A and B are shown apart, each in its own frame.
Chain A
């Protein structure tokens, strides 16, 4: 009885406190909620004017702020195995010295967590002041009124605007007349290519394949004729993987390209005879999937491909089990990345080749876009707090006075200029200093040469000139999707279902779990799941942008 009484009273106390807490919480939310939209509407236009009028008074002749400013920057570290820079980061010190801005850095060490973290912060109206965001994230955040219009601040970042082609790319980042995402040209060269084991070709007396049929024949020989000579049937003609997050087929791009069925996952469209075609349900896509199903049935694809992730795929060709594969050429050939292959394959020789040529002479390694996949975003909160000018001047600094410091680190110590070539020391401590280089790189030849102009001789006798591979990759056939970037992404309420239907469907077709006689039903299911509505929205936008009439 005694315990019962105590229990009863404890319960009553809990409920009472609970009610108190709920009222307290409700009260807080109640008072802050009306304030936010009011501030949002009132302050947005004012902040632009404020930025303009305070420009001359708050900044000295050298562009240094008279009163200290603070901005929060959220960014990923360059590589998950590198620690974020410490408190003595020379870039932050330089920003403080030269601009009087305190950089508050929020580092994300796992890049695949970045979107989720950013969107979680967005949901709590706690976006960092300035950040990079994917097109999908931008389209999620823009209608919420969380992103600031960059327009009033562009005047503080003139060289950035010119060098990164901001004016030309404005339409892509504009929502309802406001420039909510700063779209820039990509600082990267085209990075993909098809790679083949030249030593295996030589051993089996085969030529470099050109057409799809020749590719398939070589894949079969690589799978069945023991090209590594170890007496075991443990090699494969091709390898692939499945995307962890979406379940999409990975590493089949050149095969799709040979059918004209390659698409950009953000913008899965093609303009054909003045019509906007949804590529995933096109006949070309079906034909390409049929060819992959043929490869799969012939057993020439790595037996583990259906369950493996991208890292597993990489380990396979590094271990010397794969004959032909589609890969980022730097992930394949840059020193460091190629080392494990050279060690594991004492007689291995890898070369890059042209992608297969398919029906009607079609050929493409993969899609590519001339745009930086990540867009710069500024939070509306930061703009309201009057941080817009500081953010813009920081961006300008990254592009100008602070460019080489951010990109390469301390001159003389971490990198050297010899003639017109920059030599960069790749020590881990120095790579940590370059944590924000994704923001500062511009894609100039000097910069590209510092990254890719390397010729390395390996213990297995391979001598690889990465710059030559880069040059070849720029000339190779690819599907340019730059112009499609004005089109809207999948409607967010249906996006996940569309992605699953598509990923699951394509997977089942190529693995033989679903016969191609069900293709029409598959297309219908996608249309019903939201593709039809998406197509209408995309067509309207395409007309507006002049892609179709």
Chain B
């Protein structure tokens, strides 16, 4: 680092990158194993995440397949204007944000609480069985879950509605009632990924030093107090990390789930950006429009992530960078 400062001082305002690379080469020699271990990860991101970003330029072009990414004519913000002037854009944007936020607000605490509960279970076989059983739905596709939901929520023969009718209520058309549909989305999402979502918290919980609990026990702390004063603070960084990553993806509300579960009765509350793009962009062969939406989502996601990280550092004292 010092050599860079010297170079800068010597050359006045001119900044030279050469010493940087000299230092880098030296560093690579010194920590060759570390760099080698990082290489597959770097390559992965370069090839599958960064290189394809180049294609995002078609968002500003009328993409013609034969002319390629470079040869297609520039059209400026035409596609963005088309998106923002669609009669449904604000509807799908609102739906996307609401569904994402509901999933975050209700899904996160459920996963944390479930992890804490599992962590307190002392009988190993029971704990492991519960974990395995709750993981299972994660591996089911949404098409299968749609079948399950249709059967359990059916207004005529479904278990849930039979219970409602038996207790004197009117059957509810959960899958087609705009008032209920988002709840169906959120609850089914939580149910599906509950067990899976706890894995990361359980890993964090396993990393807490037992000596902390022992000391607390000696001091006479109750089990609940130990959870509140030791367990929770220890996993706050992980909770913040998960929340931040979810916030960065706020504009992705779960394409597969919505696409399989929705129907015209609930378009007004369930049509999200991704389903709209699928119908408009992919099925309609409007790849430039799809790219423009993708870029829009990326920019908004980045802004959200940076803001949330700043807020997390300010108030929770921890962020992801």
Whether the Cβ atoms of B50 and A21 lie closer than 8 Å is: yes
B71 adjacent to chain A (CB < 8 Å): yes
The interface residues of chain A lying within 8 Å CB-to-CB of B66 are: 36-37, 40, 125, 144-146
Q: How close is B57's CB to chain A, nearest CB, in angstroms? A: 10
Whether B286 pairs with A492 at a CB distance below 8 angstroms is yes
Interchain CB contact under 8 A, B284 and A496: yes
Q: Which of A228-261 contact B (CB under 8 A)?
A: 234, 242, 245-248
B175: which of A137, A302, A306 is its contact (CB, 8 Å)? Answer: A306
Select from chain B the residue with minimum beta-carbon distance to A116.
Answer: B282
How many whole Å from B161's CB to the nearest CB in chain A?
Answer: 10
Residue ID in chain B nearest A312 by CB atoms = B150
Q: Which single member of B47, B268, B285 contacts A492 (CB below 8 Å)?
A: B285
A521 interface hit (Cβ, 8 Å): no
Given A496-B279, A496-B284, are A503 and B264 neighbors across the interface (CB < 8 Å)?
Answer: yes
Q: A13-B24, A499-B279 are in contact. Are A18 and B286 (CB under 8 A)?
A: no
Query: B82 within 8 Å of A by Cβ?
Result: yes
**B51 located at the interface, meaning its Cβ lies under 8 Å from any Cβ of chain A in the complex:** yes
| A501–B271 alpha-carbon span in the complex (Å) | 12
- For B268, the chain A residues whose CB sits under 8 A away are 504
* A304 CA to B154 CA, complexed, in Å: 6
Interface residues of B in 26-62 (CB under 8 A from A): 27-28, 31, 34-35, 38, 42, 45-47, 50-51, 54
**A144 and B87 within 8 A (CB):** no
B254 within 8 A of A: no
Question: How many angstroms from the CA of A141 to the CA of B268 in the assembled complex?
Answer: 31
Task: Judge if A495 is at the interface, Cβ distance under 8 Å.
Answer: yes
Q: Which of A4-12, A172-180, A272-280, A434-442 contacts B (4 or more CB under 8 A)?
A: A4-12
Taken together as a complex, chains A and B put the C-alpha atoms of A507 and B64 apart, in Å, by 36
B109 sits at the interface (CB 8 A) = no
Q: Mark A18-50, 1 if CB is under 8 A from B, else 0.
A: 100110011001101110110010000000000
Known: A21-B51, A125-B66, A525-B87. A140 touches B27 (CB 8 A): no
**Cβ of B285 and Cβ of A122 under 8 Å apart?**
yes
Contact with A along B220-255 (1 / 0, CB 8 A): 000000000000000000000000000000000000
B280, A497: Cβ atoms closer than 8 Å: yes
**A36 CA / B156 CA spacing, docked (Å):** 59
Would A307 and B69 count as touching, CB distance under 8 A?
Answer: no
Q: Is the CB of B265 within 8 A of A306?
A: yes
Interface residues in A449-466 (C-beta closer than 8 Å to B): none
Contacting residues, chain A, for B50 (C-beta < 8 A): 18, 21-22
Contacting residue for A22 out of B1, B51, B87, CB 8 A: B51
Q: Contacts A37-B66, A144-B66 known; A304 to B279 CB distance under 8 Å?
A: no
Interface residues of B in 137-195 (CB under 8 A from A): 150, 154-157, 173, 175-176
Chain A residue contacts of B23, Cβ below 8 A? 9
* Given A5-B1, A312-B150, A492-B285, CB of A500 within 8 Å of CB of B271: yes
- Check B265–A511 contact: CB distance below 8 A: yes
Q: CA of A504 to CA of B264 in the docked complex: distance in angstroms?
A: 5
Q: Does A208 contact B (CB under 8 A)?
A: no
Residues of chain B within 8 A (CB-CB) of A503 are 264, 267
Q: How far is the CA of A246 from the CA of B275 in the complex (A)?
A: 11
Cross-chain contact A507 with B69 (CB below 8 angstroms): no
Q: Mark A301-343 against chain B: 1 for CB-CB distance below 8 A, else 0.
A: 0111011100010000000000000000000000000000000
Contact B283 A26 (CB under 8 A): no
Count residues of A near B (Cβ-Cβ below 8 Å).
66
Which chain B positions have C-beta within 8 A of A6? 27, 31, 34
Q: Which residues of A contact B283 (CB under 8 A)?
A: 115-116, 119, 245, 496
A17 within 8 A of B: yes
Contacts A6-B31, A37-B71 known; A495 to B284 CB distance under 8 Å? yes
Nearest to B92 among chain A residues (CB) is A500
Instruction: Collect the chain A residues with CB atoms within 8 Å of residue B68's CB.
Output: 29, 32-33, 36, 125
Query: Contact check: which of A14, A137, A303 meets B45 at CB < 8 Å?
Result: A14
Contact among A33, A492, A506 with B71 in the assembled complex (CB-CB below 8 Å): A33
Whether B263 is near chain A, meaning CB under 8 Å from some CB there, is yes
Residues of B close to A247: CB separation below 8 A: 263-264, 267
B54 touches A507 (CB 8 A): no
A421 to chain B, nearest CB (A): 41
Query: With contacts A37-B71, A116-B282, A507-B265 known, is A493 near B82, CB below 8 A?
Result: yes
Contacts of A306 on B, CB cut-off 8 Å? 173, 175-176, 263, 265
> Which of A17, A302, A496 makes the CB contact (< 8 A) with B46?
A17
Q: Let me know if B218 is at the binding interface, CB within 8 A.
A: no
B66 to chain A, nearest CB (A): 5
Judged by a CB distance under 8 angstroms, whether A55 is at the interface is no
**How would residues 283 to 297 of chain B score, 1 for a CB under 8 Å from any chain A CB and 0 otherwise?**
111110100000000
Q: Does A448 contact B (CB under 8 A)?
A: no
With an 8 A cutoff between CB atoms, is A477 at the interface?
Answer: no
| B307 in contact (CB, < 8 A) | no
* Contact (Cβ within 8 A) A529 B87: yes
Whether B65 sits at the interface, judged by CB under 8 Å, is yes
Chain A contacts for B289, CB-based, 8 A: 493
Q: In the complex, which of the residues B54, B263, B286 contacts A493, with contact meaning CB atoms closer than 8 Å?
A: B286
List chain B residues, Cβ under 8 A from A125: 65-66, 68
Chain B contacts of A312 at CB under 8 A? Answer: 150
Q: Is A513 an interface residue (CB 8 A)?
A: yes
Q: In this assembly, does B67 line the interface, its C-beta being within 8 Å of a C-beta of chain A?
A: yes
Contact among A10, A497, A508 with B88 in the assembled complex (CB-CB below 8 Å): A497
Assess whether B302 is interfacial by the CB under 8 Å rule: no
Chain B residues near A32 (CB, 8 Å)?
A: 68
B287 with A123: CB separation less than 8 A? yes
Bound form: Cα–Cα A234–B158 in Å: 12
A13 to B47, CA, bound (A): 15
Q: Bound state CA distance, A125 and B72, in angstroms?
A: 14
B276 within 8 A of A: yes
A302: B residues at CB distance < 8 A: 156
A26 to B69, CA, bound (A): 9
With A312-B150, A500-B279 as contacts: A507 and B264 at CB distance below 8 Å: yes
Least Cβ–Cβ distance between B52 and chain A, in angstroms: 9
Tell which of B46, B264, B285, B289 has the most Cβ of chain A within 10 Å. B264
Distance A10 CA – B20 CA, assembled complex (angstroms): 11
Taken together as a complex, chains A and B put the C-alpha atoms of A542 and B55 apart, in Å, by 39
Interface membership of B132, Cβ < 8 A:
no
Given A9-B23, A303-B155, A500-B271; A140-B285 close (CB under 8 Å): yes
Chain B residues with Cβ under 8 A from A13's Cβ?
A: 24, 28, 35, 42
- How long is the Cα–Cα vector from A458 to B287 in the complex, in angstroms? 52
CB distance from A34 to the nearest CB of B (A): 7
B209 at the A interface (CB under 8 A) = no
B122 to chain A, nearest CB (A): 38
Is B10 positioned at the interface, with any CB of A under 8 Å from its CB? no
B42: chain A residues at CB < 8 Å are 10, 13-14, 17
A-B pairs with beta carbons under 8 Å apart, 15 shown: A6-B34, A10-B35, A12-B24, A13-B28, A29-B70, A30-B70, A33-B67, A116-B282, A144-B64, A302-B156, A492-B285, A500-B267, A500-B279, A504-B268, A528-B87
* Closest CB pairs A-B (n = 3): A307-B175, A33-B68, A140-B285
Given contacts A120-B282, A492-B284, 12 further A-B contacts (CB under 8 A): A6-B34, A9-B28, A22-B54, A33-B70, A37-B71, A115-B283, A119-B283, A144-B64, A304-B155, A307-B176, A497-B86, A508-B265
User: A: which residues have CB within 8 A of B?
Assistant: 5-6, 9-10, 12-14, 17-18, 21-22, 25-26, 29-30, 32-34, 36-37, 40, 115-116, 119-120, 122-125, 137, 140-141, 144-146, 234, 242, 245-248, 302-304, 306-308, 312, 492-493, 495-497, 499-501, 503-504, 506-508, 511, 513, 525, 528-529
